[in-house]
Structure 1
Amino acid sequence: MTTIMTTPGAQTRRGRFFKLDMWTATSLGLLLLFGLFLLYPLFGVLKESVLDGEGGFTFANFAKFFANDYYFGTIRNSFMVSLAVTVVSLVIGVPFSYFYTFFKLRGAKFLFVGAVLSCMSAPFIGAYAWILLLGRNGIATRLLEAVLPFSIGSIYGFGGIVLVLSLKLFPLVSVYMNAAFRSVDISLLEAASLMGSTGLRRIWQVMIRLTVPTLLAASLLVFMRAFADFGTPMLIGEGYRTFTVEIYNQYLGEIGQNHNFAAAIGIVGVVVTAAVFLLQKFAANKFSFSLKAGSPVQKRRPRGIGGALVYLYMYALIGLALLPQLYIVYLSFRNNNQVVFLPGYSLDNYRQAMSRLLGRSVYNTIFFAVVALVIIIAVSVLLAYLVVRRSNAVNNFLDTVSMLPYIMPGAVIGIGLVIAFNSPPLALTGTMTVMIIMLVIRRMPYTIRSATATLMHLPMSMEEAARSLGASKLKAFWRITVPMMSAGVASGAVLSFVAIVTEMSAGIILYNNQTITLTMSAYVAITRGSYGLACAFSAILTVLTAVLLAVYLKFTKEEDVKM
């Protein structure tokens, strides 16, 4: 009989190889979830884009897109709009943040709340309100044309899209830059002054150059949000077509549907956004450095004519940014007959909304948001721990995959979920489940980035102390690490929650009457010409967003974001 001897070292290595601990199982579980609900749908979009109507392999959809300027122009238009919105947002957002950070302004908290509220509203409310204000028969249009000797032009087209999106997205620049400006050591500014660099020259040579990484991060966020926006170009684009609207027309259009071509347009959009993202990452790494203020900024009160101009700039800009939401709330109480608002006030629009799925829309909005947020928080906490505390190739891959929705247009995710789950064994299209999956995928990056950034700054020593006192890995994680992460997770979660309740670009592909939300109800009312009804839905959505913003401020207590 032959006896096979094994050394203790070999047994230990073999046991270690086959050992499946809690965190390895968690990594594999998250890998399975991301693979099923994110990568598999994206593969479905890619596959759909290279098929013809009979299921054969072809590149004809891409050839059609690039050969026909009617279609290729949509990507070009989206890129130009996004670039213009990014530039304008920087031009007006950086001074706003500079004045907010370096001056002791009366009503500073109102300015901050107004800025954040304006960028957290539903993506189409601003466009809709500006149509009512500056449209061909808008109230502001009539007033200005009665006073001015020239025509003020049209809100429709390229200029209107840039105006609406810039007023909506510039607060993203200011919120990011607030933290960057506060990190600048005041001694550097004093040294620059001693060397003769003062005024605007000092701001450019010192302040702007020191905050380049933050500027690049804010620019990327604004660009991505503008590039993926559906509601604004759909409502006021008219002849100026963007690719998000073209995807919708090709996938759900009343004139004709071409799902393969819509998928091809979506893939082109993903490639463009990925290229922009990689370019931003390259630039950010090139200018990467850390700032820590040894001498913090000392705010001063604005005085004289310059101070008056600062106040005028700040409050005028916030007034313009908030004007759409305030006007919508006002119009929600006006009498109207479809597209015409009549004299007098009543609650008829809200009564009409109650008979038009208001209850279901509110319930779905809150239910989807709560369930999606619970899942987002659980996944974000686990993934952040894996990336920071147990970094390896698999966990770093999960971290990268989790950020894909950050750079992807929502319509692509919506189409991918329809393709992936439109037939057995997982026929989820048209159900609440697929809506929740979509919301989790779309808005998870906010909380993941916030949780990861928070955990990176937490010491490992407390967790190790708990382990040395006999606590298990799970107990140490649950009782020590999670509570310490709670503030950062909460701030990211509220941002995710607000983004969830205003989601539109992916939801419009997936919703039906059973899964309709407030955002969808308002949009449907607009497209059907029921302006009073749309105002009622939008006003309720605005109030809900304001409440969520109050929760956000309660948890964060600071004017920055951890992204």
Structure 2
Amino acid sequence: MTVTTVSIRPRLPRLSRPSALAVIGILIAAFLMMFLILPVIQVIYVAFLDPRSGALTLDNFSDFFASPLFRESFWNSLYVAAMSVVFATLIALPLAYLTTRFDFAGSAVIQSLGIIPLIMPPFVGAVAMQLLFGRNGTVNLLLNDWFGFKIPFMEGLNGVIFVESIHYFPFILINLSASLRNIDRSMEEAAQNLGASGMRLFRRIVFPLAMPGYIAGAALVFIKVFDDLGTPLMLNVKAMLAPQAYMRITGVGINDPMGYVISFILIAFSVLSLWLSFLVMRGRDYATVQKGGGGLARRQLSPWERVAAWVVILVILGLVLAPHIGLMLLSFGTIWSFSPLPDAFTLKHYGTVFSQAGQYITNTLLYAGGAALIDILIGTAVAYIVLRTGLPGRRWLDYLSTAALAVPGVVLGIGYLRMFHGVHLPGVGPLASWWVMIMIALAIRRLPYALRACMAALQQVSLSLEEAAENLGASKARSIRRIVVPLMTGGILAGFVTSFATAAVELSATIMLVSGERDAPLSYGIYLFMQSPSGRGAGAALGIIAVIIVALATYISQRVIERDSHLRGARPTGSH
């Protein structure tokens, strides 16, 4: 007689009475309600509020669309976001396809270099791009000398599109490359057997099968660009929604309804773009028949194809590295005006930074470090509650924690100003201008990143390990502290570093909440320095420091993830 062993996955218990985890869940929900949901609701409510009568109305939206400036800002934001997706696609698609389809030296390096823009916020490199590609920048000066014409790379909205495309294309590159690697090779082979090849094969088979990755990346690019505040401000492009929201609240006042109407539109389009990306994918089958899909059949390039591929790749990588090169030159240059390169080089800008701007760096380490710590504490707790308990409403806790992805930083800052501007704490003063609010805003903005890292780490920890510990007499708290958390260390550290690195260069929320230079973080300091030609060298030096901080954090995060994966792979598994 054959005995079949059936493996039954342990059912997560539904807690019948209040527990420590339930209390923690309630406290986290209260924190998120106070510092995320209620400020956003406040913004939305004021957008529909008549400032004179206090009644709900749509007149604010009528006034918005009746204004030529606001209509122009609305269409400009849509145009810039859409065109940034187009140009980001033109950059990412060749890199993704060439490095996943063909075997040639350097493909791994190219993929690595392709994500370099993510370590520099777009507003930091915007001024450097102006000096390289502006009307009197390096490229146009050379074009004018050699060929007698200039190209308006950085004129008006073109500059915003150019900078944003170069910065955000890695979102498409990463997601599209992953999709191309997971395409079912048998689908491609079947199409080839039916006569499809070349561009027809790519257009009809390969790209449609990679559409989930592309749509995910394109949606992220659209949202990021549509909501971005720093880059338009740095390039002096004010006729866009995010800059208009900032200027209305800081210029006209906290009670100006137009700032809230714009904020509502920013939120609505963030949610709408995510919803549309979901609709595009719904009802379509992209599943692979074999595990992992096998990926595209890789082939060797002919000599001429290799030359053409490298030309395309080098041009793209030149654009990718341009902001970093320009920022480096600006940070060491003395005078850089109407010349292809700075007139001379100096270290005085770095001396200025360390003598005058040390507080910015200290504040950044404090704010970003504190925000990252908050994120991993909440992320670890939420991950455990969602994945390991049967608490009612646990999924809503996950949704609440992730909701910050749809809230632009400028909107969150406006929400804090509106909600807390009349609240005073003894010994602190107005709550909205307290430096702790900057830390909380950064924590809320980066919580989704830390949460995903913690959830991924916990999903790799077997539930049987906890059960074994509890069977040996360990309490739930002890098993979490001694078993679960140590095994999640890699994911927790990765979440901490990711939150820290991205919070360190956040401008949209902090620019709304900084009450004075004494409390300003590094990103705000860069913005202040860049406002005058004489301060751009020091601003660039501060930008280089920011890039180094983010690059080191990114490197550490990657090393931690690789080390954790290696240890998991090396850990012996027992038979049951």
Q: Considering the TM-score relative to the shorter chain, is it more than 0.5? A: yes
Structure-to-structure mapping, 1:21-32, within 5 angstroms: 21-32=19-30
CA deviation vs aligned residue, 1:52-90 (integer Å, no higher than 9, x gap): 555733534322112223213322221221111112222
Matched, 1:450 2:453: yes
Over 3 Å counting, the alpha-carbon distance change for 1:475 and 1:189 in structure 2 is: farther
Deviation at 1:390, TM superposition (A): 2.7
Deviation at 1:267, TM superposition (A): 1.1
Aligned residue type for 1:367: L
Q: Say whether 1:473 aligns with 2:476.
A: yes
Alpha-carbon distance, 1:314 to partner: 2.1
1:458/1:103 CA distance change after superposition, 3 Å: farther
CA drift at 1:359: 0.8
> Following the alignment from structure 2 to structure 1, what is the Cα–Cα distance between the partners of residues 487 and 201?
40
Equivalent residue letter for 2:273: V
CA distance in 2, matches of 1:55, 1:525: 43
Aligned position for 2:439: 436
Contact 1:302 1:308 in 2 (8 A): no
**Larger CA deviation: 287-296 vs 329-338:** 287-296
Pick closer, same or farther for the CA change 1:32–1:257 going to 2, 3 Å.
closer
Which of 34, 37, 41 pairs up with 2:35?
A: 37
Q: Per the alignment, do residues 257 and 384 of structure 1 end up closer, same or farther by CA in structure 2, a change over 3 Å counting?
A: closer
AA aligned to 2:320 is A
Instruction: Please point out which of 509, 515, 535 is paired with 2:519.
Output: 515
> Hey, what does 2:558 align to over in structure 1?
553
**Which one is further off, 206-215 or 436-445?**
206-215
Q: Does 1:260 align with 2:257?
A: yes
Structure 1 residue 524 and structure 2 residue 541: aligned? no
- Conserved 8 A contact 1:339-1:532: no
Alpha carbons of structure 1 residues 285 and 237: separation in structure 2 relative to 1, 3 Å? farther
Q: Is the 8 A contact 2:95 2:111 kept in 1?
A: no
Amino acid of the structure 2 residue aligned with 1:40: L
Contact 2:374–2:443 (CA<8 Å) still a contact in 1?
A: yes
**2:284 aligns to what?**
287
Give the Cα separation in 1 of the matches to 2:179 and 2:153: 37
Q: Which moves more between the two structures, 312-321 or 287-296?
A: 287-296
CA–CA distance in structure 1, aligned partners of residues 29 and 152 of structure 2: 52
| AA partner of residue 536 (structure 1) | A
TM-score by length of 2: 0.87
Relative distance call for 1:382 and 1:429 in structure 2 (3 A) is same
Q: How does 1:114-129 map to 2 (within 5 A)?
A: 114-129=113-128
Distance in 1, Cα, partners of 2:53 & 2:461: 53
Report the CA distance shift for 1:197/1:494 in structure 2 as closer, same or farther (over 3 A). farther
> 1:531, 1:370 → 2: CA distance?
27
Task: Read off the aligned partner of 1:230 and give its amino acid letter.
Answer: L
Task: Give the fraction of aligned pairs with identical amino acids, expressed as a percent.
Answer: 27
Say which of 245, 248, 252 aligns to 1:247: 245
**Do residues 536 (structure 1) and 522 (structure 2) align?**
no
Map of 2:330 onto structure 1: 331
1:256–1:435 distance in 2 versus 1, CA, 3 Å = closer
Q: 3-state SS of the aligned residue for 1:137?
A: coil
* Equivalent pairs, count: 541
Match of 1:13 in 2: none
User: What does residue 389 of structure 2 align with?
Assistant: 390
Change (3 A) 1:438 1:538: same
Counterpart of 2:433 in 1: which secondary structure? coil
**Is the CA contact (8 Å cut-off) linking 1:186 and 1:293 kept in structure 2?**
no
What is the Cα deviation at residue 299 of structure 1?
Answer: 5.0
Shift in alpha-carbon separation, 1:248–1:295, aligned structure 2, 3 A: closer
Query: Cα gap change, 1:241/1:105 in structure 2, threshold over 3 Å: closer, same or farther?
Result: farther
Aligned position for 1:216: 215
Could you say what secondary structure the match of 2:344 adopts?
strand
Q: Kindly indicate whether residue 301 of structure 2 is the aligned counterpart of residue 302 of structure 1.
A: yes
1:344 aligns with 2:344: yes
SS in 1 for 2:335: strand
- Please state how far the C-alpha of 1:241 moved relative to its aligned partner: 1.4
Aligned-partner Cα distance in 2 for 1:185–1:220: 24
Name the CA distance, whole Å, in 1 between partners of 2:38 and 2:509. Answer: 17
Q: How far does residue 268 in structure 1 lie from its aligned partner after superposition?
A: 1.9
| Equivalent-residue separation in structure 1 for 2:301 and 2:487 (angstroms) | 39
SS in 1 for 2:518: coil
1:196 aligned partner: 195
Structure 1 pair 388–17 and aligned structure 2 pair: CA distance change class (3 A): closer
1:45–1:416 CA contact under 8 A, matched in 2: yes
Q: Structure 2 CA distance, aligned partners of 1:256 and 1:447? A: 34
Structure 1 residue 163 displacement after superposition: 1.4
Counterparts of 1:127 and 1:316 in 2: how far apart (Å)? 19
Query: Aligned pair in 2 of structure 1 residues 539, 80: CA closer, same or farther (>3 Å)?
Result: same
> In the superposition, relative to structure 1, how do residues 458 and 27 fare at CA in structure 2: closer, same or farther (>3 Å)?
same
Structure 1 residue 26, shift from structure 2 partner: 1.8
Letter in 1 for 2:124: I
Q: Which residue identity is paired with 1:146?
A: D
Q: Contact 1:328 / 1:539 at 8 angstroms: preserved in 2? A: yes
User: How far does residue 428 in structure 1 lie from its aligned partner after superposition?
Assistant: 2.3
Amino acid at match of 2:122: P
Equivalent residues in 2 for 1:14-163 (5 A)?
A: 19-53=17-51, 56-59=54-57, 60-153=59-152, 155-163=154-162
In the alignment, does 2:494 pair up with 1:506? no
In 2, the alpha carbon distance for the partners of 1:271 and 1:156 equals 29
**Alignment deviations for residues 137-196 of structure 1 (CA, whole Å, 9 cap, x no partner):** 222221111222333225122222211111111111111223222222334333332232
Corresponding residue for residue 4 of structure 1: none
* Aligned-partner residue type, residue 23 of structure 2: A
Q: Tell me how large the CA RMSD over aligned residues is.
A: 2.8
In the TM superposition, what is the alpha-carbon distance from 1:300 to its structure 2 partner?
4.8
d(CA) in 2 for partners of 1:195, 1:462: 52
**Residue 119 of structure 2 contacts residue 547 of structure 2 at CA under 8 Å; is this kept in 1?**
no
Indicate the larger mover: 193-202 or 120-129: 193-202
TM-fit CA distance, 1:458: 4.8
- 8 Å CA contact 1:249–1:257 kept in 2: the answer is no
Which is further off, 202-211 or 305-314?
Answer: 202-211
The residue type equivalent to 1:351 in the other structure is G
Q: Does the 8 Å contact 2:136/2:338 carry over to 1?
A: no
Task: Structure 2 unaligned segments of length 5 or more: list them.
Answer: 1-13, 564-576
CA separation of 1:437 and 1:36: change in aligned 2, threshold 3 A: same
Cα distance change, pair 494–184 in 1 and its aligned pair in 2 (3 A): farther
Change (3 A) 1:96 1:121: same
| Structure 1 residue aligned with 2:267 | 270
Shift in Å, 1:435: 0.8
Please state how far the C-alpha of 1:349 moved relative to its aligned partner.
1.2
Asked whether the equivalents of residues 93 and 173 of structure 1 are also in contact (C-alpha less than 8 Å), the reply is yes
* Residue type of the alignment partner of 1:348: K
Within 1, Cα distance between the matches of 2:342 and 2:213?
Answer: 48
Q: CA deviation at 1:431?
A: 2.2
Distance 2:490 2:397 in 1: 23
Q: Secondary structure at the match of 1:345?
A: coil
My pick for the range that moved more, 314-323 or 94-103, is 94-103
The answer (yes or no) to whether the contact 1:52–1:58 under 8 Å persists in 2 is yes
Amino acid at match of 1:524: L
Report if the CA contact (8 A) 2:364-2:521 is conserved.
yes
Cα distance, 1:285–1:475 mapped onto 2, change above 3 Å: farther
Per-residue deviation at 1:388?
A: 2.4
Distance 2:88 2:214 in 1: 11
Residues 360/250 of structure 1: CA separation in 2 closer, same or farther (3 Å cut): same
Q: What do the CA deviations read for 1:292-334 (whole angstroms, capped 9, x no partner)?
A: 3264667555341111222222232122111111211122111
Contiguous gaps of at least 5 residues in structure 1: 1-15, 559-563
2:494 pairs with 1:496: no
When normalised by structure 1's length, the TM-score is 0.88
The separation in 2 between residues aligned to 1:513 and 1:381, in whole angstroms, is 34
- Whichever residue aligns with residue 497 of structure 1, its letter is F
